[in-house]
Amino acid sequence: MELTEIFGSNVFNDKVMKERLPKQIYKALRETIANDLPLRPDVADVVANAMKDWALEKGATHYTHWFQPLTGITAEKHDSFISSAPDGGIIVEFSGKQLIQGEPDASSFPSGGLRSTFEARGYTAWDCTSPAILKTDESGNVTLTIPTAFYSYNGEALDKKTPLLRSMKAVSKQALRVLRALGNTTSTKVTATVGPEQEYFLVDKAFYEDRIDLMLAGRTIFGAPAPKGQELEDQYFGAIKDRVSDYMNDLNMELWKMGITSKTQHNEVAPAQYEMAPIFATTNIATDHNQLVMETMQKVALRHGLVCLLHEKPYAGINGSGKHNNWSLSTNDGLNLLEPGHTPSDNVQFLLVVSALIKAVDTHADILRATCAHAGNDHRLGANEAPPAIISIFMGDELTDILEKISKGQKVSAKGVQFVNVGVDTLPEIPKDNTDRNRTSPFAFTGNKFEFRMVGSSQSIAGPNVALNTIAAEAFDEIATRLEKAKDKNAEAAAIIRETYKKHSRVIFNGNNYSEAWPKEAAKRGLPNVTNAVDALKAFVTDKSLKLFEKYEVLSHKEMHSRYEIYVEHYAKQINIEALTAIDMVKKQFIPAVTEYATFLAESIDSFKGIKMPAPVQEDLLKKLVALMASAYKNLGKLEAATAKTQATADTVKKAEMCRDQIVTAMKALRTDVDALEMIVPRDMWPVPTYADLLFKL
């Protein structure tokens, strides 16, 4: 089959709808999607029937309302298309009602107190702006998969999609006000677009299954470094090995069938690390697709005897994985608001939008940071690896220079760029190709979009984009209010750009974010630097956040509190699993292995003595082993005690803080001993695959 035929072949997309729906129904559905209108029941019935026929022709037997609970992964409950007929047989049917709303119950998902047990029902509602797809598996099972939002009996959001859709509406509304005030009369909708670059590791399945830390915690809790790491820089963009390339081809095929625009693939910096980037899409579709990407990456890996690791830090000492969330705003008539234009008025608009984001990011750095807070990402943010936990914006020297000059009321005359006259101020043509790439910034302007690089590789991108859309909505709201009142729009626009830069330029940093000097400089500027998830999550429930999300009708106070509760609890659970896994491995695998080697050495010393030979090497090794094992045993005791004490703590936040302060510290101390032991014990006596096995035997 041709690529063009494969792509989207499992999507109930516009082409299929056009072919299969009566003209009037198709038109009504298009309008619903384009203008976010409620779906008419008569339309839903016809659409459902067409969808069912299409799915049955393609071999589907079941449908599912697919949703995104607060666990960060997706959920689905399958129902077959059969209903019983009066004659005792069956009929195959799928009604509009079944398409629009589901009641999966799903009472076991975290609700953070939004559902009490007596009203545990949860509902799903079709998000008709994201197309339904067919999910297939290797044995030929086909399921019609309908993207839905998940909410409680009282209409409170229980998922990641509902606030995302709300935030998209909010940013569209406020951005349009700015455009209107600047004289745009044609655009009727502003869409937040996202292109998430996904990093991941692959590991041989056989090795993976011999490491319960990888299996249960997603990362190696122990592991001495291999003699070689990433220092030769021979992996990044290197030739892709056949086995990996086979995997990538298979992955692409699966993604393309579901209409996911897998575009770029390459080796990443660390050994056995890779990246896939799709072409950007509307935020909610990009989010659905990214969830499918993560799921498909894992599923396809198994077919190749591989396991795909999405954890932020599977291995110590080499790079972890992130997700670069490329974000921009476009109008329905094709204008990218973050793309500098050719005319003076285009550029006023561009600089206003950039100013709005500078203000938004500086004011709500804590919220952006919070959306990237979870146990796995703590190993990256603010730890030994970038991006740091400090939110700053890379604007590039030229753009910064322009903003700087405007803020000082100076004539802008940068680098031979052309002048244009805008009312009272002069603006140059903004350089379009911002080739000046800073790879260390957590929030970088890359010519026509911002790239938010703090997001963890395993995370849903919904949260970060809810935050981006909402903080942008607030900044646009304020700008629009000023512009709407102003007589001289250009003068007011110039004033806004000037004032914003003066007030918020502290968040702009074009230097090396990985340098030791940056955290010090950031502290002087008063920028927050929150190095752990537990503290970072507190930003969910500050007055400032509660007001912000409530004002733009994205999340109510109750919904914010419930999210905070769930994420803090999730952190504590994750750390607890790691601790129990560590304890298990030390007791059942490492101590027995070390004892075996120690006994071997002791016996060797004995037999040397028998023939009156000195055994200084064995004696020295044995001493080291015994000392390290004693230290490990002591640290094991500390970890067990800390874990028990933490589990006995009722308060969720206190519990998470104890995880961070006591358990994580105890695990680190234990790891130091175990890794030192691994360096001494012979390979064939070490009970788990080593870093060399995991990273270099693909």
The binding site for Mg ion (CB under 5 A) comprises 324
Nearer to ligand ADP, 262 or 490 (CB): 262
Let me know: does 519 contact 388? Beta carbons within 8 Å: yes
Let me know: does 192 contact 491? Beta carbons within 8 Å: no
Helix ranges (H only) for 586-651 are: 591-610, 616-647
Give the one residue of 94, 126, 280, 590 binding ligand ADP; rule: CB under 6 A.
Answer: 280
What is the DSSP code (8-state) at residue 126?
Answer: E
Residue 449 interacting with ligand ADP (CB under 6 A): yes
Residue 287 interacting with ligand ADP (CB under 6 A): no
Which of the listed partners (Mg ion, ligand ADP, none) does 464 bind, with a CB threshold of 5 to 8 Å by partner kind? none
Tell me how far, at minimum, the Cβ of 378 lies from ligand ADP, in Å: 25
What is the DSSP code (8-state) at residue 142?
Answer: E
Tell me how far, at minimum, the Cβ of 385 lies from ligand ADP, in Å: 19
Residue with tokens 């004659």: 87
Give the one residue of 37, 85, 279, 424 binding ligand ADP; rule: CB under 6 A.
Answer: 279
Tell me how far, at minimum, the Cβ of 361 lies from Mg ion, in Å: 18
Alpha-carbon Rg for the chain, nearest whole angstrom, is 28
Nearer to Mg ion, 166 or 324 (CB): 324
Tell me how far, at minimum, the Cβ of 324 lies from ligand ADP, in Å: 6
Which of the listed partners (ligand ADP, Mg ion, none) does 402 bind, with a CB threshold of 5 to 8 Å by partner kind? none
d(CA 503, CA 500) in angstroms, rounded, equals: 5
Residue 442 interacting with ligand ADP (CB under 6 A): no
Nearer to Mg ion, 127 or 199 (CB): 199
Residue 326 interacting with ligand ADP (CB under 6 A): yes
Tell me how far, at minimum, the Cβ of 8 lies from ligand ADP, in Å: 17
Q: Is the peptide bond before 86 cis (omega within 30 degrees of 0)?
A: no
* CA-wise closest residue to 562 among 252, 59, 109: 109
Residue 403 interacting with ligand ADP (CB under 6 A): no
d(CA 516, CA 252) in angstroms, rounded, equals: 40
Nearer to ligand ADP, 129 or 336 (CB): 336
Which of the stretches 56-64, 67-75, 442-450, 688-696 binds ligand ADP when contact is defined by CB under 6 A?
Answer: 442-450
Residue 446 interacting with ligand ADP (CB under 6 A): yes
Residue 194 interacting with ligand ADP (CB under 6 A): yes
- The helix (H) or strand (E) run that includes residue 101 is strand 101-102
Which residues, in sequence order, are CB contacts of 604 under 8 Å at separation 6+? Answer: 615, 618
User: In 3-state terms, what secondary structure has residue 455?
Assistant: coil
* CA-wise closest residue to 582 among 669, 654, 679, 479: 669
User: In 3-state terms, what secondary structure has residue 56?
Assistant: helix
Let me know: does 266 contact 237? Beta carbons within 8 Å: yes
Tell me how far, at minimum, the Cβ of 273 lies from ligand ADP, in Å: 16
Give the one residue of 184, 298, 448, 631 binding ligand ADP; rule: CB under 6 A.
Answer: 448
Let me know: does 198 contact 296? Beta carbons within 8 Å: no
Which of the stretches 229-237, 326-334, 426-434, 467-475 binds ligand ADP when contact is defined by CB under 6 A?
Answer: 326-334
What's the count of helices (H) and strands (E) in the chain, helices before strands?
24, 19
Tell me how far, at minimum, the Cβ of 194 lies from ligand ADP, in Å: 5
Nearer to ligand ADP, 98 or 172 (CB): 172
Contacts with ligand ADP by CB under 6 A lie at 193-195, 197, 277-280, 326-328, 336, 446, 448-449
